[in-house]
Structure 1
Amino acid sequence: MELAELIIALKKRRQQIQANSKPANPTPGTSIASVAKRMRPSCEQDDYSQGTKIMRYSGPELPEDIWCHIHALLPLPDAARAGCVSREFLRSWRCHPNLTFSQETLGVKRTFSEKICGSDTLAWKFTKIVDQIMEKRAGIGVKTFKLEHCGSRIYTRHLKSWLQVAVNPGLEELVLSLPVVYDAKYYNFPCSLLFNGNGKSISYLNLKSCAFHPVAGLGCLRKLHLSRVHITGDELGCLLSNSLVLKELNLSRCNKITCLKIPCLLNQFNHLTVFGCKTLELIENKALNLCTVRIDTTLVRLPFGDSLRVNNLEMLWAFEYNLVYYARADLPRIMPNLETLGISSAGEVLNTPIVTAKFLHLKLLEICLSVAEGAFSPAYDYLSLVFFLDACPVLETFKLSVWQTRMKHDPVSGDSSLLRKMPGHHHASIKNVKIDGFCSAKSMIELTCHILDNATSLENLKLDPIYVGGYEHVDRLTVHEIGDCSPHTGQRMIREAHKSVLAIEKYIVGKVPSNVKLNIQKPCSQCHSVK
């Protein structure tokens, strides 16, 4: 039985007990309340006499630790509601080991008048509710403490008191997210709480928008996420050098770090993410088992250190140009053992180059060409991506996404005999190809036709003229009712999408072999109608 069903069954059982306790025919002159009181078991009379509204539940006799375990598996709001059923459940709720405080879980909402007047009492409402809960948690162990502060004001005295209760020798996960509008340096995370022994069991630490100045390491720390955190490279190095079981580090917009040093002592370290750290000049990696890197620039601009064992790389940055060119030209030398590669480029002024070095192990290639406003460079030749595919002899999956608000490439026209061909390039391992944001550009039609002619193992080809940003839909009409079929696509690209479908039908459909499954995601007839 699911936990939610169990709680419902317990509530129904309580209602049945109450219903069976009512007398069928009370004697004249006797109040219903007095009769009900006589009919209650003595234990319930004691609760009634104390004026409480919480009834004792005479359901299945289970040890208290079993009930605590059941409640620990419930989300925080459900566990709180279950605490209203009986005193036993109330005790279980007060011992709930996983505390997640956010605007959503606490149901804190800004009133209409506050929105109009601009008065922000959201933070005070949030603080008051959390205070009431944490006051009853003193001395009770917490395994997970997640706080996503809402409102623009931080009551630091209250925040510190919550952390004093939450940070205990049994704490495993600590997540503290303060408002982005708040300057990180003004809230100094009380590191003494972590490094006096109470943080010895923490395996996941996630801090956002605060100052953090560690003076030691955390022996059980496996995942560290820092976003908009005021911390220097030396301070972070101190933490890393003394957290020997660390596996994952995620840094976002930590602008006090100029040099990131990952020591060789981190034998289990395998995942690094670095985004938006503007002052970062060097990553000195000495961890031998680092295999996954997500970064927002090129490794030529940001020297990296040991990268021979890296087999998963994502370069995702909306303002970096020519990442595809760089990846083809330099990555085989820097990271020769890549198995998956994701690239997001804001523009390609240079076509994909012809280079002799190959990606001998690459099986998944994802390229996203994204322009927030305007057209992707019309000078870029989509057909030149053939040189990238040619460098990947074991490539199995190729995904191309193009996001633009208008199309300026030369559209396809005339007879199919006018399309360019690139003989001598064979892609024997490619099985799956998806092009998201497919357009009627002549070079994109040529690229698709080339794949059909030369990918001898091709099984699936999916073409979607509407950019969906990673969302997968079987049929747009099936999700139209929930508003999830890209209804905000501009009219220019809607018209282009309809042109693309016609181009697919004219130039591509007839070239698809019988053993290849072609999936054309047509525009939604309601969201993407041409006006």
Structure 2
Amino acid sequence: MVYISATLDIWHHIHSLMPLKNAARAACVSQSFLSSWRCHSNLILSRESFGLEGEKETARDFRRKIDHILRNHSGTGVRKLSLRLVPNYNAKDRDYINKWLEKAVTPGIEELTLSLPINNKCKYEFLCTVLSNGRGDSLRCLYLTNCSFHPMALLGCLRSLTKLELFMVRIPGDELCCLLSSSSALEWLSLTYCSKVNCLKIPCHLQRLRHVKVEDCSKLRVIENKAPNLSSFQFKGGLKVQVKLGKALQVKSLYMSSTVFGCNTRAELASSIPSREMVNSPMVSSKLTDLKSMIICLGEMSFCLSFDCQSIVSILGASLTLETFISHVSDELMQHALVFGDPSRSWMLDTSGGVVSPLNKSLIKLACHVLRAWLT
């Protein structure tokens, strides 16, 4: 009996690793696989996994296939649920989504993905109650795309959550902060196009948090980190966002890019990005000793002629352990820089004074200062 049980466990494990379409076919020809299918642990429900093509037939067939799968599923044993709706999703599908989540999200689930088409204007609010009453205790990864999310009802329910990715999710900043405060196991946080987030405050008790990525959150004004073990920080957005990394002494990878970069003085730049205080501080060497990777984007930004380009050089001077330096150069910058050497090699700027236009002189000057500091 022990041998038979072990064999069935092996078959069920093999079945769980199959793509959904292949797993369904296997269930049609094998009694063992049929039994496994009713408690299949990985449900990847998408147009691609169903092999559907075409806009008109997809919406109807998509709903029908998911209904059929979940009707024949026992409702237990799901560890991974990925629900990616079709482009022509409409308002009446909201009830279907809630029904599917209620059926598939059960105690023991570890990963949940809900992705609504980004070009679809139908609004959907994520049904938080599906993760309450112990059903979210085991959840480790949560990925949401293009929906509203009000997680106040989930406070204390996501104690195992290690990875949170929100893309085009309408979540108020205060509710996000409350969610983070109650997710002590969090290791990875990603926010992209979350237009309602105006403030991101990361509390100090998130000891495991290592990676933070924030991109194009239009109303965001403040990022304040107190997590002590942050090792990777990536930011893309407006220059008016105040970034305070706090005592994140373990940062090894830092990426910051601004779509609006126009400063008249060094003081204005420092006030817009308070993390620049690290550069001006006497303790700069001790604060950047662990920095391993740096990415600088040059170009596609209008520097004023009075901008003090020398200020960025001290970043490189303080990064004693820097191993990777990547610079992106725009076509505008390349047109006004003197390029020499083998064209197939990495670009180099003439630091002895090439011919540049007055409009971009300070931009070229910045590039030259950065490269000179790096090479020496």
| Same fold per superposition (TM over 0.5) | yes
- How big is the alpha-carbon RMSD for the aligned residues of Structure 1 and Structure 2? 3.7
Amino acid at match of 1:124: R
Give the structure 2 partner of residue 161 of structure 1: 99
Deviation at 1:89, TM superposition (A): 2.1
Question: Does 290-299 or 171-180 show the bigger shift?
Answer: 290-299
Amino acid at match of 1:197: G
Q: 8 Å contact 1:208–1:228 — kept in the other structure?
A: yes
Q: 1:444 to 1:121 in 2, by over 3 A?
A: farther
Give the structure 1 partner of residue 113 of structure 2: 175
Q: 1:263 to 1:395 in 2, by over 3 A?
A: closer
Give the structure 2 partner of residue 268 of structure 1: 208
Amino acid at match of 1:96: H
Q: 1:157 to 1:165 in 2, by over 3 A?
A: same
| 2:35 maps to 1:91 | yes
Measure, in 1, the Cα distance between the counterparts of 2:231 and 2:323.
Answer: 20
Match of 2:68 among 123, 126, 132: 132
Give the structure 2 partner of residue 188 of structure 1: 125
| 2:335 maps to 1:408 | yes
Q: Give a deviation string over 1:297-344, Cα, whole Å, max 9, x none.
A: 477742425144233211145x24379x96997553488323222233
Deviation at 1:356, TM superposition (A): 9.2
Give the structure 1 partner of residue 140 of structure 2: 203
Larger radius of gyration: 1
- Please state whether the residue corresponding to 1:169 is helix, strand or coil: coil
Q: 8 Å contact 1:251–1:274 — kept in the other structure?
A: yes
Measure, in 1, the Cα distance between the counterparts of 2:49 and 2:101.
Answer: 19
Deviation at 1:265, TM superposition (A): 2.2
- Please state whether the residue corresponding to 1:229 is helix, strand or coil: coil
Measure, in 1, the Cα distance between the counterparts of 2:371 and 2:217.
Answer: 39
- Please state whether the residue corresponding to 2:228 is helix, strand or coil: coil
Q: Which runs of 5+ in 2 are unaligned?
A: 355-366
Identical counterparts, % of pairs: 36
- Pick 1 or 2: higher relative contact order, CA cutoff 8 A, min separation 6: 2
Measure, in 2, the Cα distance between the counterparts of 1:279 and 1:61.
Answer: 56
Q: 8 Å contact 1:148–1:176 — kept in the other structure?
A: yes
Q: Give a deviation string over 1:74-122, Cα, whole Å, max 9, x none.
A: 2323323333432222222332201112221111100xxx6xxxxx442
| 2:335 maps to 1:343 | no
Q: 8 Å contact 2:147–2:170 — kept in the other structure?
A: yes
Deviation at 1:399, TM superposition (A): 3.3
TM-score, structure 2 as length reference: 0.76
| 2:184 maps to 1:244 | yes
Amino acid at match of 2:309: P
Measure, in 2, the Cα distance between the counterparts of 1:253 and 1:103.
Answer: 24
Q: Which runs of 5+ in 1 are unaligned?
A: 1-59, 115-119, 360-387, 417-433, 457-531
Match of 2:170 among 230, 254, 269: 230
Deviation at 1:170, TM superposition (A): 0.6
Amino acid at match of 1:158: Y
Amino acid at match of 1:344: C
| 2:223 maps to 1:283 | yes
Q: Give a deviation string over 1:251-299, Cα, whole Å, max 9, x none.
A: 1111112122222222212221111111111123222222221111477
Match of 2:196 among 233, 247, 256: 256
Q: 1:275 to 1:166 in 2, by over 3 A?
A: same
- Please state whether the residue corresponding to 1:122 is helix, strand or coil: helix
Give the structure 2 partner of residue 144 of structure 1: 80
Give the structure 1 partner of residue 362 of structure 2: none
Q: 1:285 to 1:161 in 2, by over 3 A?
A: same
Q: 1:267 to 1:78 in 2, by over 3 A?
A: same
Amino acid at match of 1:290: L
Give the structure 2 partner of residue 314 of structure 1: 255
- Please state whether the residue corresponding to 1:294 is helix, strand or coil: strand
Q: Give a deviation string over 1:38-83, Cα, whole Å, max 9, x none.
A: xxxxxxxxxxxxxxxxxxxxxx996222100111122323323333
Measure, in 1, the Cα distance between the counterparts of 2:197 and 2:239.
Answer: 17
- Please state whether the residue corresponding to 1:163 is helix, strand or coil: helix
Count of residue pairs the alignment pairs up? 334
- Please state whether the residue corresponding to 1:343 is helix, strand or coil: strand
Amino acid at match of 2:182: N
- Please state whether the residue corresponding to 2:242 is helix, strand or coil: coil
Give the structure 2 partner of residue 332 of structure 1: 279
Q: 1:87 to 1:409 in 2, by over 3 A?
A: same
Measure, in 2, the Cα distance between the counterparts of 1:173 and 1:152.
Answer: 25
Q: 8 Å contact 2:223–2:241 — kept in the other structure?
A: no
Deviation at 1:132, TM superposition (A): 1.1
Q: 1:196 to 1:182 in 2, by over 3 A?
A: farther
Q: 1:278 to 1:299 in 2, by over 3 A?
A: closer
Give the structure 1 partner of residue 23 of structure 2: 79
| 2:306 maps to 1:353 | no
TM-score, structure 1 as length reference: 0.55
Give the structure 2 partner of residue 293 of structure 1: 233
Q: 8 Å contact 1:273–1:295 — kept in the other structure?
A: yes
